[in-house]
Structure 1
């Protein structure tokens, strides 16, 4: 019997925008039993363009995951292919529509061997927690994070900098090919958890707050609480969409061993 079971869910809020340009999904793999995927994309590019770009990321991820088999492919190769194919289709769609849509991407895949793989492009984030303890997160492909890496900004300065929404890596760019940052964690166990979220959510919380919240709540309760709190902290200025996906590993219920010979006979 598995040492953990997976609880997962998603949540979204429009914020103060007229259109929801984020997309999120949770998927199983038909040809890879025991594998699961969470994917989140934040589209940009004006009315309908951003939503189209984000939709293309999620659609591409699902199509490739439907075709994935560990007997013939590697998870990291699939993640790279998702980004590459989504980028190409978004770029071509932009040419056809005479627009320049972009999207971020963050994808998580869990395997039955107890390994987590993830990939991201842009500033949609993945957080990993051990119980309530923050373990790591993806580093945004943004101007301010580049300045932090160079020692020119502190993390506190970067968070509220006026250029904090300037990205240096996106899917769909006409000028540059995107790069994909991969991550991996082995030895998954009950108590581990992952949070995927757009910048419309993570901007309002510390790493420690997110860890405590995910440890104490199931998917529905977590999404309702975080979105409500984000809107409160925005104080009426929450202009961006707010989207998240939670994947939490919990102790499975005890196996029922109450069957008796008489009960089995009646069942037969």
Structure 2
């Protein structure tokens, strides 16, 4: 599968906070037409050095994958990149003890030959939109989501629960190892959009409202502007996102040959 993306659009703003504890990779000004890897991280609020945690996670993940990736990103490679990142956290904390307790969420997206590989830790999200409909979204590693799945609270209560910012997974270091959910999305079509965001965006957007934006606008820059108009000056938290449009998807020659061979066997 050969996935060609259009120009991605990214935003990372401090919102109502004094500093920005979100980090994204790559920075918008460094994107090339061949970009395959995207990362969005949110330094956990209330912990020491959240901005260092998110930056270090982005930098460590992309460094490890760049060094050791041979072909598509796999679940095992993501696991090793996560372990490397945790070791980097430990190294930083050893030199800066005041940073003990720093943590971050992580979302990763990679366009590979078998589909789009996504991984996430925490409550930052990845969506796949098709004609304004959500065809896939990650599931938050959060307390309120666990309570909702257990039937303890309603969907409306999730939005206002006093512990809605408590996450159950975060990158912290080897002393607190975590796991990433990894999945390969092989149902990818031209015209799809992938959307990666920190929870600051979700202060003002439900799934339904986000879907409405992607249904209304058919240009990624217009989508970016619409989300910015809603969040800028209104969001209490930092807010960051990546919009990644899919321009074209072609099956590899070997896949086509296998399909033709299968069809010919019935002739």
TM-score, scaled relative to structure 1? 0.80
Answering whether residue 242 of structure 2 is matched by residue 245 of structure 1, we say: yes
Structure 2 CA distance for aligned equivalents of residues 34 and 114 of structure 1: 17
SS of 1:17's equivalent in the other structure is: coil
Q: Do the aligned residues in 1 keep the contact of 2:87 with 2:173 (CA within 8 Å)? A: no
Range with bigger deviation, 55-64 or 211-220? 211-220
Structure 2 CA distance for aligned equivalents of residues 11 and 36 of structure 1: 18
Partner of 1:77: 76
Q: Do the aligned residues in 1 keep the contact of 2:5 with 2:244 (CA within 8 Å)? A: no
Deviations along 1:133-178, whole A, 9 cap, x unmatched? 1112111111111111211112221122110001111101576321
Structure 2 CA distance for aligned equivalents of residues 116 and 244 of structure 1: 18
SS of 1:103's equivalent in the other structure is: coil
Q: Do the aligned residues in 2 keep the contact of 1:227 with 1:242 (CA within 8 Å)? A: no
Structure 1 CA distance for aligned equivalents of residues 187 and 153 of structure 2: 35
Structure 2 CA distance for aligned equivalents of residues 250 and 109 of structure 1: 15
Structure 1 CA distance for aligned equivalents of residues 63 and 226 of structure 2: 32
SS of 2:189's equivalent in the other structure is: coil
Cα gap change, 1:173/1:150 in structure 2, threshold over 3 Å: closer, same or farther?
A: farther
Partner of 2:188: 188
1:82 Cα shift?
2.4
Structure 2 CA distance for aligned equivalents of residues 174 and 82 of structure 1: 12
SS of 2:8's equivalent in the other structure is: strand
Partner of 1:209: 209
Structure 1 CA distance for aligned equivalents of residues 114 and 164 of structure 2: 35
Structure 1 CA distance for aligned equivalents of residues 85 and 218 of structure 2: 33
Structure 1 CA distance for aligned equivalents of residues 248 and 118 of structure 2: 23
Pairwise CA RMSD: 2.7
Structure 2 CA distance for aligned equivalents of residues 92 and 64 of structure 1: 16
SS of 1:24's equivalent in the other structure is: strand
Partner of 2:138: 138
Deviations along 1:160-214, whole A, 9 cap, x unmatched? 2110001111101576321211122104220211110000002321223222323
Structure 1 CA distance for aligned equivalents of residues 206 and 143 of structure 2: 20
Look at both structures and tell me which one has the larger radius of gyration over its CA atoms.
Answer: 1
Partner of 1:57: 57
Equivalenced residue count is 241
Alignment of 1:89-238 (within 5 A): 89-98=88-97, 99=99, 100-111=101-112, 113=113, 115-172=115-172, 176-215=176-215, 216-231=217-232, 234=234, 238=235
Unaligned runs of at least 5 residues, structure 1: 28-32, 253-268
Unaligned runs of at least 5 residues, structure 2: 28-32, 250-267
Structure 2 CA distance for aligned equivalents of residues 124 and 3 of structure 1: 24
Range with bigger deviation, 61-70 or 43-52? 43-52
Cα gap change, 1:189/1:46 in structure 2, threshold over 3 Å: closer, same or farther?
A: same
Partner of 2:263: none
TM-score, scaled relative to structure 2? 0.80
